[in-house]
Amino acid sequence: MRINDCFARPITGVPGRFINVLDRTSDDFNQTFKFSGTSTETLNMSSYNYLGFAQSEGPCADAVEETTRRYGLSSASSRMDAGTLDLHSDVENLVANFVGKPAAMVFSMGYGTNAAAFSTLAGKGCLVISDELNHASIRFGVRISGAVIGMYRHNDMRDLERLLREQISQGQPRTHRPWKKILVVVEGLYSMEGTMCNLPALIGLKKQYKFNLFVDEAHSIGALGPNGRGVCDYFGVDTAEVDILMGTLTKSFGANGGYIAAEKHIIDKLRYSHAGSIFGEAPAPPVITQISTSLRLIAGEVVIGQGEERLRRLAFNSRYLRIGLKRLGFIIYGQDDSPIIPLLLYNPAKMPAFSHEMLRRKIAVVVVGYPATPLVSSRARFCVSAAHTKDDLDRLLAACDEIGDILQLKFSSGLAGGAIPLAPGVTPEMEKERKQRGTLVTMPPRWPLEEVLKRGVKDVQAPLR
């Protein structure tokens, strides 16, 4: 209760590069809050606005305004009744073509997409194997499906193979009959870890053990790969190798809702069995237009070059911030190209301190603790956007450097960000020879902030030393 002021902070306006946080105070240790009537403009490192499409002006906003005038705000029905517009059919074709699948279906809520999908995809006599760090929507959906659930250690392909061999050899409980279906469920990009699934290894196991593969691309679609088409694009894997691709339309597209893309017979079954299609409201026309316009921008069909530029900026920003934080001495989880950058705080008591210090410097960040993470693995999570500039990231690095010293958060040597460059005229061979002679002067492993800012742009584009 005492750290409630760090969570659910009300905002106003567009969640773009900057965000306006409504100021509030509490007289009862954060049980209740009073609004002061003012707001503070802060640098937004919290929102899932990966490609910067959360805007109130530009091609997307113009198209949304035109659609609102023509179609209104709602189709006032579910998809199964009278809620399917030409806009829905158009965006489903766009999504299917974008992710490289024959068919796709869109839903009005990302969480609900997963929560109701598994009852259609699996049931009694089926086995669903889930990564231990999969999202709550997957865990909930699998539980209500009636299938037997198996779990393996995060991204541990050996543990997954062990579980597959065991379950295939033993079959169903009691009867030991073969499983009707085995479905392995993973996320493309894990939202609390910043790690990607090992898709090439999963495809190798899939060919060997003949299971079905479901990939949740909630955070990876639009944010990963040279063309922004997710983990398959990033790893150069044919999307035909993955049976079902799911994603949300909230993060990279500045809208809301979710989609599932697969073979046509799977999508046809979902249309008549998925609770979100039967009972849920159809996605609103302005939202559908936001999705279709952003998809066309990424694909280069409208405003040619803008989509590619956003993808490049996001890739640079992700690598630049991550390497900078590592060099300053912070422990950072995840892959270098991930736009989700978790900074480990460990001690839960440091969550409110870090959040307050950042807000004091007018930077809005998310802090995450138990039960979303293990009790002693509390963290701050930065979400990088193509809307951020290098100056924004330099400002964040300077704030982290200062707060890291105050709160004693620099647990790493800094070597994860690469060794400090050799002095002019010194070659790697000369350095090796000096090491052997014992005459090499060892530099402190952590980089000073000035060096981080000075060399970051160049080092992002080259292998680390």
Helix, strand or coil, per DSSP, at residue 292: helix
Angle, helix 306-328 to helix 285-299, in steps of 10 degrees: 80
**One-character DSSP codes across 299-347:** HTSSSTTHHHHHHHHHHHHHHHHHHHHHHHT--B-S-TT-SEEEEEEES
Per-residue confidence in pLDDT tens, the chain, 465 aa? 678 989 989 999 899 999 999 999 999 988 999 999 999 999 999 999 999 998 888 999 999 999 999 999 998 899 888 889 999 999 999 999 999 999 999 999 999 999 999 999 999 999 999 999 999 999 999 999 999 999 999 999 999 999 999 999 999 999 999 999 999 999 999 999 999 999 999 999 999 999 999 999 999 999 999 999 999 999 999 999 999 999 999 999 999 999 999 999 999 999 999 998 899 899 999 999 999 999 999 998 988 889 999 999 999 999 999 999 999 999 999 999 999 999 999 999 999 999 999 999 999 999 999 888 998 999 999 999 999 999 999 999 999 999 999 999 999 888 788 776 667 777 878 777 877 777 766 566 788 899 889 888 888 877 666
Q: What is the pLDDT of residue 430?
A: 79
Q: What is the pLDDT of residue 170?
A: 95
Answer for the pair 333, 194: CB distance below 8 angstroms, yes or no: yes
Helix, strand or coil, per DSSP, at residue 356: helix
User: One-letter amino acid identity for 252?
Assistant: S
Gap between the Cα atoms of 209 and 205, Å rounded: 6
User: One-letter amino acid identity for 130?
Assistant: S
Q: What is the pLDDT of residue 441?
A: 62
Gap between the Cα atoms of 220 and 224, Å rounded: 5
Q: What is the pLDDT of residue 1?
A: 66
This prediction's pTM: 0.92
Sheet with 340-346, side-by-side order of all strands: 340-346, 378-383, 366-368
User: One-letter amino acid identity for 94?
Assistant: L
Answer for the pair 356, 329: CB distance below 8 angstroms, yes or no: no
Q: What is the pLDDT of residue 136?
A: 94
Point out which residues pair with 19 in neighbouring strands: 42
